[in-house]
Structure 1
Amino acid sequence: MALSSNCWKYLVLTFNVLFAVSAVVLFGASGFLLYRLFIYRHFIGINVEYPAILLLMMAIISCSIAWIGWRTTKSMHQIHIIMAGVLIVLVVVIEFACFVWAMVVWDNIEIDIKTAMTSYFVETNYNKETNSDTIRWDRLHVKFQCCGVSGPTDYSSTGHLPYSCCGQGPLDSIQQQPYTSDCSAFYKRGCGNQIHEYAKQQLLFVAMTALVASVLQSTGIFCTFFLAHAIRERRRASIRTSTIARDATFAAPDDTLLASPTAPISLPKY
């Protein structure tokens, strides 16, 4: 029984190391996906980023739980190991909930993006003195080779197309391409569908990352609780052995008080 509990102990210690490594990988992946969504937050809205934010928080919490699991496993205290197992269960459940949440947002993202982009487009055209908003639209046009929200007709109220709809914008200073006054070959498609596909792809990566993390980390649940069961069985076996030894000690007859069968029997004198 002691060997079995030791095997589970080293298995759980190995899991905690892998759990910490997976938390670091999860932190990097969720942080990268959050960044890719964050740079277009003005066009897609902040609600789309919440699953990635939650996944990033769970990666940080998982590092702490891995350290707690390592310490409790080395101490071999049953109640502490059970508590560490419960924490792992909570992490796995929340990560799976993050997967479900990302898929729900993925399914309903089209309306949110079109609403956010239309509102931001109107705000940009209303506040024409704000150069930062105009630069964001220029970067979006050049990056996705699109124009406006639904197409070039969105700029009909302004009377002219921005140069970025022709493929030239703030990025041209890096590429050393000058602005041109000829904007006859402009992009025909709008940016709404392009951002929609982009955001759906990032959310799908977030969902798959959360699902893989929850499945892989769930293996530690079984290992942790099997270790707690092995500790309990070892304790029961130790108590059983001690009880048997104690009962055997008190139940053994004292043969020294009995006379030897070969010794002569002395008769009383009258």
Structure 2
Amino acid sequence: MGERAFVCFRYCLIAGAILLGISGAVVSIFAGYFIYQLHEYASLTPDNVCGSAATLLAMGVITCGIGWFVWQFLNFSNRGQVIIFAVTLTTITLIETSVGIWALVRHEQVDALPSTQHDEIFALAITDEKSTWNHMQSTLQCCGIDGPSDYRGTDAIPWSCCNTTNLANDTEGICTTLYKRGCQLVVLNRTKSILLHVFLLALCSVLLQVHNLEIPFIMNRYII
């Protein structure tokens, strides 16, 4: 009975190693995408919000590598190797738990940019980063930092601030309605949403690691 249980847990551990590698790859892909999203509108994105996603990306790559290593080289009848695998998996689980907490805490700390930086940011919005701002304003349906009034004193409000869904056919290219909300509020809400998704990704990964941890600890009883 003990030998049959050992064989059963051995195959479960192999399946767990494969699943571990796949989950690590998935975590890496999603974490990388979240980092890209946080950098997409870096002009208005608060500082130090990428740390949790970057750490989760690194842990995903490491987890993927560990899953491949276990599948290829782990001797499932060696108590020492099984214990090392369990300790490594426990360490990854604790780190990813910390990453999830970090993302959740940062989510609560995200706040608007200091007003002292607005002039500097807006100066770039109409010069060096003009194309980036045009993309941001048209995609997020916002205008300026706090609203269209930010463009007061400039030559013209960019077309990316125009709400084209309300344009009539006889306006001859004249914008009749501008986006009223500023981009800062939209980017802040977007950043909070991304951090919340980082937390959920870390939570899902931790739950999977905890499930995988049960197998080596149980299997260790049957190794002579």
Shorter-chain TM-score above 0.5? yes
1:77-125 C-alpha deviation (Å, 9 max, x unpaired): 111110111110111111111111111111111x1xx217973x42244
Q: Name the structure 2 match of 1:115.
A: 113
Identity of aligned residues (%): 28
Structure 1 unmatched runs, 5+? 169-178, 236-270
CA separation in 1, counterparts of 2:80 and 2:157? 68
Quick one: structure 1 residues 199 and 117, their matched pair in 2 at CA, closer, same or farther if it must change by over 3 Å?
Answer: farther
CA separation in 1, counterparts of 2:114 and 2:131? 17
Within a 5 Å distance, the mapping from 1:50-89 to structure 2 comes to: 50-71=51-72, 73-89=74-90
CA separation in 2, counterparts of 1:208 and 1:129? 37
Within a 5 Å distance, the mapping from 1:38-187 to structure 2 comes to: 38-71=39-72, 73-109=74-110, 111=111, 114-115=112-113, 119=117, 121-126=118-123, 130-131=127-128, 133-158=129-154, 160-167=156-163, 182-187=174-179
Q: Name the structure 2 match of 1:257.
A: none
Say which is worse superposed, 39-48 or 7-16, in terms of deviation.
Answer: 39-48
1:108-148 C-alpha deviation (Å, 9 max, x unpaired): 11x1xx217973x42244458843x1121221111122111
**Which of structure 1's runs of 4+ aligned residues deviate more than 6 A?**
none
TM-score normalized with structure 1 length:
0.72
Quick one: structure 1 residues 128 and 204, their matched pair in 2 at CA, closer, same or farther if it must change by over 3 Å?
Answer: closer
Quick one: structure 1 residues 193 and 127, their matched pair in 2 at CA, closer, same or farther if it must change by over 3 Å?
Answer: closer
CA separation in 2, counterparts of 1:134 and 1:43? 13
> CA-atom RMSD, angstroms?
2.5
For residue 76 of structure 1, give the secondary structure of its aligned residue in structure 2: coil
Q: Does 1:222 align with 2:196?
A: no
Measure how far apart 1:150 and its partner are: 1.5
Quick one: structure 1 residues 135 and 27, their matched pair in 2 at CA, closer, same or farther if it must change by over 3 Å?
Answer: same
Choose 1 or 2 for highest CA Rg.
Answer: 1
Structure 2 unmatched runs, 5+? 165-171
> Would you say how many aligned residue pairs link Structure 1 and Structure 2?
216
